[in-house]
Structure 1
Amino acid sequence: MPSTEILIAFTLAALLMNISPGPSNLYVVARAIAQGTKGGIVAGMGLAVGSMVHVMATVLGLSAVFEHSPTLYTAVKLAGAAYLIYLGISYWQNKTEESPDGDGCLVEPVKRKPLISVFRESIIVEVTNPKTALFFIALLPQFVVPESGPISLQLLILGLIVTLSAIPCDIAVAVLSSKVSNYLLKNERAQRIQERVSGSILFGMGAYIVTDEARAVGD
């Protein structure tokens, strides 16, 4: 079982990542704009279910890696760190794409759908999103302490924290996007600021992991 300190630190990291702009957040925004707050919340619930699929895959796959190959475990951590750095850089390089009429809209208007269809679609969106899988592989291993108990249980607990902490974030996005959607979707400068703050967080996490691993090798 992870220590209280690790759980608190991980929960804060998960919240920071969940409130940072990304494909899932934009999907919730799109559904909330098309179908109001309720549509955005339903989309968030579907994303949470899809996220759990990735959690279980991470638990089943990474626990075996950690227990039988410490070298491969380190390689996974470094690969995850590299991916976080890549994401951070990509956020800084992203440019707002304008709609055909040049208003700078980031999310195109979408048609209304039955809420059950929104829920099913959201699950598929999250399950088939390779970035979500890579993100779990990148983030969860950094907070696993082999001496603290079964690896699979630690990964499951950490994965649940990520999924559960995303729910209030998605609800907040759904509510806010229905009220300030014009500003968030049409103000290019505001979107760039969001992307660069998120990118800095991701880059910083990846750089810290690489530095920490290099220090451990040196010791």
Structure 2
Amino acid sequence: MTLHSILALALAVFILGLTPGPGVFATLARALTQGVGPALIFVAGLTLGDLVYLAFAVLGLSYIAAEFSGIFLGIKIAGGVYLVYLGITLWRTKAEAADLGVGVERGRVRGFLSGLMLTLGNPKAAIFYIAFLPSFMDLHAVSLSQFAIAAGVISGVIFTTLSGYALLAARLRPVFKSPRAMLRLKRGAGSVMIGVGGFVISS
């Protein structure tokens, strides 16, 4: 991976990390109900889940890229189309406040595992990696060092971004529970997803 591709990957993961989804809302719930500490443990679990999907995506996509280039192209386009669909879905949602008080339980280990399982149970995470990795990594020759760099970039950006949400939620609870603010957040995220999906399809 070149320095340019590393920076581009970091920016793409950062943008995706900002978009609201199960992980973001669950992190907000932790911070609002239990404080920043438990929320960070939960975020660590979420981050590990992304690394698991990264490993699966690199191994699987490397094989597909080498043996079935036509299928690989179809998967990539399908991933981009799905991102556009998610963006349109966010744009069409109503201006309702998010239910941030669900799925919260005590305990560090349980909090970490719940974060891990939340990511592993979210098919959108796998689709994101299927759609994005080909734009930043040569899947015909993924070395251990390249995988380590990608894992470091992804885990660092995701953990930092979601931790920022947790810290912000602790200070701005009324803002996050405002229907108007949620509408703006969803539409902004929808616009980002539509743009990213278009990039994936055309790249």
Normalising by structure 1, we get a TM-score of 0.84
Q: Distance in 1 between matches of 2:141 and 2:61?
A: 12
1:83 match: 82
Radius of gyration: which is bigger?
1
1:58 match: 57
Q: 2:79–2:127: 8 Å Cα contact kept in structure 1?
A: yes
- Of 111, 115, 129 in structure 1, the residue corresponding to residue 122 of structure 2 is 129
In structure 2, the CA distance between the partners of 1:108 and 1:13, relative to structure 1 (3 Å rule), is: same
Q: CA deviation at 1:105?
A: 5.1
- Of 198, 204, 209 in structure 1, the residue corresponding to residue 200 of structure 2 is 209
In structure 2, the CA distance between the partners of 1:152 and 1:87, relative to structure 1 (3 Å rule), is: farther
- 1:64 counterpart letter in structure 2: Y
Deviations 1:116-169 (A, max 9, x none): 2111111111111111111111221222345xx713655664354223210011
Deviations 1:16-41 (A, max 9, x none): 11122221111100111110011111
Q: 1:50–1:127: 8 Å Cα contact kept in structure 2?
A: yes
1:4 match: 3
Q: 2:131–2:200: 8 Å Cα contact kept in structure 1?
A: no
Q: Distance in 2 between matches of 1:137 and 1:168?
A: 22
Deviation larger for 159-168 or 70-79:
159-168
Q: 2:89–2:190: 8 Å Cα contact kept in structure 1?
A: yes
- 2:64 counterpart letter in structure 1: V
In structure 2, the CA distance between the partners of 1:143 and 1:118, relative to structure 1 (3 Å rule), is: same
**Count of matched residue pairs:** 202
Q: 2:19–2:189: 8 Å Cα contact kept in structure 1?
A: yes
Deviations 1:38-82 (A, max 9, x none): 111111011111111111111221110011122122112111111
- Of 76, 80, 100 in structure 2, the residue corresponding to residue 107 of structure 1 is 100
1:217 match: none
Deviation larger for 171-180 or 153-162:
153-162
Q: Confirm or deny that 1:164 pairs with 2:156.
A: yes
1:138 match: 131
Gaps of 5+ in 2: none
- Of 169, 173, 191 in structure 1, the residue corresponding to residue 182 of structure 2 is 191
Q: 1:59–1:152: 8 Å Cα contact kept in structure 2?
A: no
Q: Distance in 2 between matches of 1:67 and 1:29?
A: 41
Gaps of 5+ in 1: 98-103, 213-219
In structure 2, the CA distance between the partners of 1:109 and 1:145, relative to structure 1 (3 Å rule), is: closer
Deviations 1:78-122 (A, max 9, x none): 11111111111111112244xxxxxx4532366551122111111
- 1:28 counterpart letter in structure 2: T
Q: What is the DSSP-based 3-state SS (H/G/I as helix, E as strand, rest coil) of the residue aligned with 1:150?
A: coil
In structure 2, the CA distance between the partners of 1:10 and 1:105, relative to structure 1 (3 Å rule), is: closer
Q: 2:42–2:112: 8 Å Cα contact kept in structure 1?
A: yes
